Structure 1
Amino acid sequence: MPTTPALVAVASGLALGLGLIVAIGAQNAFVLRQGLRLEHVSAVVAVCALSDLALIVAGVFGAGAALERVPWLVPAVCFAGAAFLLGYGALAARRALRPGVLLPDSAGARAGLAATVGTCLALTWLNPHVYLDTVVLLGSMASTHGEHRWEFAAGAGLGSIAWFTVLGFGARLLRPVFARPAAWRVLDGVIAVVMTALAVSLVLRGAGAA
């Protein structure tokens, strides 16, 4: 049976969506850590998935072209995102250097739902890469599928939902490894490095776009 254009569009959207999202980044690192801590996992997964869906829809509607007509927006988001990532990276470095606050069961005051959701939203919406990749690139690719662009968007959205669900709820399978304080120190050390590197890249991008 020949493959229909609609199925091709769905498969293409799924492949590109996963290709863009399955990478080490601020958002994925946060989801992984929340999953390991078993802390507000459902809310974090929902926020990430719904945010991605909103960005995908915006891209298909042509928001990417609108962004390109506002030259000051990208550098502004870059610098704001860099400041936030540096702060989050500093907190991760502090956790890595203080073993007494690393384990999920002995971490002292756990973050409330509002604080967790707020951090998740900031890591998502203050990252200009989501606009450049999800809105501009994915939106542009969707337009190449013509009348089947929404099937393409559905495939990309399905990829986001599947990835965040697996990452958030599947992280608990790694809890035996993270029963050791050293493992949490390594994870937080890696998160600190990733956040700092992303912040530097955002500053350079913002300076170049200014």
Structure 2
Amino acid sequence: MFLDVFLKGFIVTISLIVAIGAQNAYILKLGLLKQHVGKAVLFCILSDILLISSGVLGLGFFIKDNQILINSIAIFGIIFLCYYSFLSFKSALKNESLKIDDEVKTNPLKQVLTLLFIFTYLNPHTYLDTILLIGGIGANIEDNLKLYFLLGSLLASSFWFSTLGFGARFLIPLFKKPITWKILDISIGLFMLFIAYSLIDIIK
């Protein structure tokens, strides 16, 4: 029984967070550029610990009923995602992300964490996935088994972000080619626009 609940938490969480989104795309890019990867991965894991735990403990019900809060986050998210999409397309056109070596200018840690904060906490999909969906499922599990569901979920999050951030370096030979960076930047831009468009349905 304990193992079943643990695996349920792992499978539910991994199936939701592997989808390409703003946060995952940015972690991948940091991994490729080898910039603040450990700190970025830790930020995402700690954020999931906070959000998923809050959902399992019942916070999802509050956010679900607060449409004004959801609308505010969605509107800000749409504006920011469209802006970041523009920057990605601009980067693809100007070849701003073509080098992966020790001479690449490293972005300040403050800038990296600020972007991660926006991608994480100002993205309504984050709350839908972690608090409402994962947390909602966990909240309906018997109290004496919730901890095992939570542990499975948090293990899935830790595994995914660590693999994405530190595993990206194995793709570096592929990204030595300028065309690959162009494809990544354009893909990220398109994903950002798609996510921004999907947020329109949340606004009521």
What secondary structure does 1:104 align onto? coil
Aligned-residue offset at 1:81: 0.9
Counterpart residue number, 1:196: 193
Matched AA of 1:187: L
| Contact persistence 2:70–2:124 (CA under 8 A) | yes
Of 39, 44, 47 in structure 2, the residue corresponding to residue 43 of structure 1 is 39
1:204 alignment partner AA: D
Structure 1 residue aligned with 2:71? 75
Name the CA distance, whole Å, in 1 between partners of 2:65 and 2:200: 21
The answer as to 2:98 corresponding to 1:102 is yes
For residue 36 of structure 1, report the CA deviation from its aligned partner.
0.4
CA 1:107–1:196: 2 relative to 1, 3 Å: farther
**Residue in 1 that maps onto 2:124:** 128
* Ranges in structure 1 where 5+ consecutive residues have no aligned partner: none
Question: In structure 2, what is the equivalent of residue 53 of structure 1?
Answer: 49
| Residue aligned with 2:67, SS | coil
1:26 matched to 2:26:
no
Q: What per-residue deviation string (whole Å, max 9, x for no partner) do you get for residues 34-78 of structure 1?
A: 000001101110111111111011001100111123221111111
Moved more, 62-71 or 112-121: 62-71
Q: Deviations over 1:92-149 (max 9, x none)?
A: 1111001255323498643100100110111011111111121011112112321201
C-alpha spacing 1:27/1:101, structure 2 compared with 1 (3 Å): closer
Aligned partners of 2:98 and 2:177 also within 8 Å: no
Residue 164, structure 1, aligned to residue 161, structure 2: yes
Counterpart-to-counterpart distance in 2, 1:65 and 1:204: 19
Count of residues paired in the alignment: 203
Residues 74-96 of structure 1 deviation map (CA, whole Å, 9 limit, x = unaligned): 11111111111111111111110
- Normalised to the residue count of structure 1, the TM-score between the two structures is 0.92
Rounded to whole Å, the distance in 1 between the matches of 2:192 and 2:98 is: 18
Deviations 1:171-200 (A, max 9, x none): 000000001111111100100110111111
Equivalent-residue separation in structure 1 for 2:96 and 2:52 (angstroms): 41
1:172-187 alignment to 2 at 5 Å?
Answer: 172-187=169-184
Judged with a 3 Å threshold, the aligned counterparts in structure 2 of structure 1 residues 84 and 106 are, in CA distance, closer, same or farther, namely farther
Q: Does 1:65 align with 2:61?
A: yes
Contiguous gaps of at least 5 residues in structure 2: none
Map of 2:10 onto structure 1: 14
